[in-house]
Amino acid sequence: MELARLLVADLLEIGCTEMSHDRNGYIMATVASNVTKETPTIGFIAHLDTSPDYSGKDVQPRIIKGYTGGDILLDPKASVRLSPAEFPELLNYAGQDLIVTDGTTLLGADDKAGITEIIEAMNYLNLHPEIPHGKIRIGFTPDEEIGRGADLFDVKKFNADFAYTVDGGPVGELEYENFNAAAVVIIIQGRNVHPGTAKGKMINALQVAVDLHSMLPVHDRPEKTEGYEGFFHLSHIEGTVEKARMDYIIRDHDFERFTGRKNLLAEIAAQLNKKYSGGTVKASVRDQYFNMKEKIMPVYHIIDLAAQAIRAADVEPLIIPIRGGTDGSKLSYMGLPTPNLFTGGHNYHGRFEFIPVQSMEKAIEVIVNIVRLAAS
């Protein structure tokens, strides 16, 4: 909410109108059209929150000017290094300026980079009124990192024909396919008996958890998958002999396989209840979001427009599936088609996160190109 208040002041300073900042943290603003002919109203959206998986408090970013290759010492005290040996893509940015962390927090480029790029693009348009553009809507959302960034987004109030989230990765990325996603909470009720007299009586909830995890396909894990391959991800486990909890996320681009994954977990729970006793394993599944491809394909011209804008910035579009989700997924199902544009960042959600300044500049150029081309 504090970041949102600062951004409201920034947006007002560059001449935005129709400003709103509601009690849920959503910001909306307008850049008025400077053309008389009818043009689409285009939205640009980014999210205010950063990943809860790694500390985003007291971030101390710094800029490595003219990166020369080799290791970057992030935290001298702990000898934390950002190294091309582990992150070979670093070498693609030799000679460029890299924004990095101090090795103790994430950077927060996901998605403060997107916010920055949208505001800078709008400021550029404000300073260059000779660039034609239609009405532009700006939206900043909370809670994207927990899959709820669009839950309270007022699509009718936003009133755009289509939009783009600026929330992607390396320069050139353009995405309109994402995972179907579900969150699963599994509660295992055990029976604790003194181990000396446990035979035939004890149900060790932790052992049941081990059994359950081992019954899932061993290669369907994030660290073993890529591209369109889905997975089961055990994100949290805790417990005792008496009771245990497991948290999974399920991801797959294909809806039928996605449904099959949910059914498989239900079947495993049923098998374990038969093996131990009824009620030992309870699994609750909550759908989070769905693949936006179904909603984007009927309006594929908005992908063509973005690809043209990227090429106009002397970058080759990299159209790939998102191995994750964005606010654009839910927004697309809420009636606002919203594919995803790159920010330029790498290694999101951790202390090895970095973003080249030059990639951010390209993202700004692409945003300007989109509205310019749409008005031409």
DSSP 359: H
Q: Are 138 and 27 in contact (CB under 8 A)?
A: yes
Whether 111 is catalytic: no
- CA pair distance 93, 110, nearest whole angstrom: 19
Distance of CA 276 to the CA centre of its chain: 39
Q: Are 49 and 26 in contact (CB under 8 A)?
A: no
Upstream peptide bond of 220 is cis (omega within 30 degrees of 0) = no
Residue 180 φ then ψ, to 5°: -80, 140
In the numeric block, the tokens 């934390």 are attached to 80
DSSP 8: H
Give the H or E element holding residue 264.
helix 255-275
Whole-Å CA distances, 259 to 82, 231, 265, 274: 39, 12, 10, 23
Residues 6+ away with beta carbon under 8 Å from 92: none
The DSSP-derived string for 196-218 is: GG-TTT-B-HHHHHHHHHHTS-T
Exactly one of 144, 175, 220, 353 is catalytic; which is it?
Answer: 144
Whether 144 is catalytic: yes
Instruction: List the beta bridge partners of residue 289.
Output: 181
Q: What is the dihedral of CA 30, 34, 39, 45, to 10 degrees?
A: -30
- CA pair distance 325, 251, nearest whole angstrom: 10
Which pair of tokens denotes residue 260? 């099959």
Q: Which residues are catalytic?
A: 49, 144
